[in-house]
Amino acid sequence: MKLMRNILDRIKPHFEENGTLHKLYPAYDAFETFLFVPNHTTSSGTHIKDSVDLKRTMVIVIIALIPCLIFGMWNTGYQYFSQLTPDMNGYKDSYTLFDSFIYGFWKFIPLIIVSYAVGLAVEFAFAVNRKHQVNEGYLVSGMLIPLTMPIDVPLWMLALSVIFAVVVGKEVFGGTGMNILNPALTARAFIFFAYPTKMSGDKVWVSSAESIDGITGETALGQLASMVDINPTSQNIINKFGQFSSDGVYSLYNSFMGFVPGSVGETSVIAILIGAAILIFTGIGSVRIIFSMFIGGLLMSYIFNIFAPESNLFMSLNPFHQLCIGSFMFGMVFMATDPVSAAQTNTGKVVYGFLCGVLSILIRVFNPAYPEGVMVAILFMNVMAPLIDHYVIEANINRRKKRLQMKLLKS
Amino acid sequence: MKSFFNKQHQKLIADPLGDQNPITIQVLGICSALAITTQLENALVMTLAVIFVMTSASSIISLLRNHVPNRIRIIVQLLVVASLVALVDQILKAFLPDASEQLSVFIGLIITNCIIMGRLEAFAMGNKLYESFLDALGNAFGYGWILVAVAFVRELFGSGKLMGYDIPGFSYLYQMGYMNNNLMILPPMALVVVGVIIWIQRSRNTDLVEEN
């Protein structure tokens, strides 16, 4: 650390006023404040003082994402190796836990590099251009975006979606803290609608499925949606039911542990719950949003259970199972809790989370074209969050006005 | 003696192209701008139709302005615009049946294009023929160039074509794994593209930014 400090101190004069590289001061500032606690003091207005600044907050979210990240890397390799047979290229007879992880690691690292490189480049460009500090928000988005993608997503698509998310999702509104929509979800929504063939079907969720015949993997949601889609035969339905029973591919146990195909970070509920525990313990993720969204999803699934026709597995799925498949959990813990785009008031957070949960399940079940209802639901609620806050605040003002009137009447 | 094309006349044409643009500044005529810009050809046809309707309507209203009773002026304006639009619609059906088919209801909806009624009410009712004509021309072009710009971006990235023709270099791109962007075809992207144009315009000329 001392070494870093020395280097930073030595190059600092170049970036200060009259230095040759003064234009790039925001970039220097970003590195310095990332590595060391800054000694700036606030220049205007009244601020709440806290030892945890935005950069430190973001780092904790990254730490909370690590279980998902490691599990996702392992699962990538596991899904790939477990489908290989002797006549396939690159067949591995016996693969270990470590092999799977290493395979997934090398598959996933390029996604992270592209996401950070492109995203930070855009952020730096805006910071230099607008002469403000580089916003820290992208530290988390840059990790979240690759975690919501299928492992084989082409890198240029990823780069494009990152540019779209940072520019249209964030910088247009004025940068971190001003955005209406969650940037990570904006990236995912962009790529989902722009290149649907790369984001759905049974050829994208398992590594190299496109290049090697015989490897397929559909997400649980895709499987359920296809049932609604094609007017299935009764045999087909029984097969699908089997896949979701306790010894099927998408059993509750497999979905909970995460041994299923899917986006990199979303599959394992247990890894996500570890992340949730870190976020809740450190007070960075809102407990209100997480719990109310969970309850909203659960309640909606129960309601569907009651009205479900015999043949519709999507509706009659066990509510806990329903929440474990797809990216409901991932969205709940890491996307809905985004402090900028979520509701700000305490009551508002409860309402916001609850509606996120209800809408996620509703869209997922009733619109087979968009099986990933969580994404659409959270984006929609992001837009609604200021409205919820407005009514909560109005209600509070009215309540206090009434209280005042009562007091005046009494005295 | 006044010159034929003086400063004031230039302003009438130039303002709607830039700082008084009907779409990006006044945010009028958005519905058609969003609906028909998936293809460049449609946007061009629409632009021509609007230029014709607007210039003719403005000229006619400007000629009639001293004879129209104030209380029924909106009805008169509507009548003039509606008959011009019916004319355009028939001409398109006769000579450009494909484009007419694709634009379908949006040609008829030129009647409700806020820019036309807005210019008639705000300018042609109180100005002479020549000025009204120039004002209509400027506004129609201001509307048109945004339409064409948006359609250019959307068709190029959405279907990989321009004016319905394949672009020579694109086949190599496809081989390298490039894909057309489906989102460009969907309506939300038209809004985003218009939004980006507004953003660029306002960051170049900060006077246009509204106070909070």
Kindly report, residue by residue over A267-316, the tens digit of the pLDDT.
888 999 999 999 998 888 889 999 999 999 999 988 988 887 766 777 77
A208 domain residue, yes or no: no
Q: Which of A154, A156, A190 shows the shortest C-beta gap to B183?
A: A190
Assigned domain for A162 exists:
yes
Q: Region B57-67: what's the mean pLDDT? A: 88
Same-domain check for residues A233 and A188: no
Q: Which of A165-179, A211-225, B123-137 has the lowest mean pLDDT?
A: A211-225
Contact present, B38 and B151 (Cβ < 8 Å): yes
* Chain B: closest CA distance from residue A195 (Å): 6
- How many domains are there within chain A? 2
In a domain, A327, yes or no: yes
Tokens of B77: 């304006």
Task: Output the pLDDT for position B1.
Answer: 47
In A, which residues are within 8 Å of B181 by CB distance? 194-195
Which pLDDT value is given to residue A240? 67
Q: Do A193 and B182 touch (CB under 8 A)?
A: yes
Contact across the interface for B179 and A157, Cβ inside 8 Å: yes
Q: Examine the pLDDT at A212 and tell me if it is beyond 80.
A: no
| Mean of per-residue pLDDT scores for chain A | 82
User: Which residue shows structure tokens 């907050």?
Assistant: A57
Q: Which residue matches tokens 């830039």?
A: B18
**How many Å lie between the alpha carbon of B158 and the closest alpha carbon of chain A?**
9
**Which of A172, A173, A178 has the highest number of chain B CBs within 10 A, making it the mutation to test binding with B?**
A172
> Same domain, yes or no, for A193 and A231?
no
Give the residue, A65 or B161, on which the prediction is more confident. A65
- Verify that A192 and A330 share a domain, yes or no: no
Task: Give the least confident one: A8-22, A215-229, A383-397, B120-134.
Answer: A215-229
Amino acid A87: pLDDT: 63
What mean pLDDT is predicted for residues B114-132? Answer: 85
Distance between CA A211 and CA A221 in Å, rounded? 23
Cβ <8 Å between A194 and B183 = yes
ipTM value, please give it: 0.82
Domain containing residue A187: 54-198
In a domain? residue A212 = no
Does A213 score more than 70 pLDDT?
no
What's the predicted TM-score (pTM) here? 0.84
Phi, psi of B79, rounded to the nearest 5 degrees: -60, -45
Dihedrals φ, ψ of B162, to 5°? -140, 130
Give the mean model confidence (pLDDT) for residues A106-111. Answer: 90
Residues A357/A292, Cβ–Cβ less than 8 Å:
yes
Whether A306 and A224 share a structural domain: yes
- Say whether both A386 and A241 belong to one domain: yes
A197: closest CA of chain B, how far (Å): 10
Number of neighbours of residue A238 by Cβ within 10 angstroms: 10
Of A156, A172, A194, the CB nearest to B182: A194
**Residue range A219-243, pLDDT digits in tens:** 777 777 666 545 556 666 666 666 7
Q: Are residues A166 and A227 in the same domain?
A: no
Judge contact between A308 and A316, C-beta under 8 A: yes
A153 and A104 share a domain? Answer: yes
Q: Are residues A352 and A238 in the same domain?
A: yes
Indicate whether A209 pLDDT > 80.
no
Distances (CA, A) of A220 to A172, A261, A313: 36, 8, 12
Mean pLDDT comparison of A72-81, A128-137, B163-172, highest-scoring range: A72-81
- Residue B80 to residue A129: CA distance in whole angstroms: 50
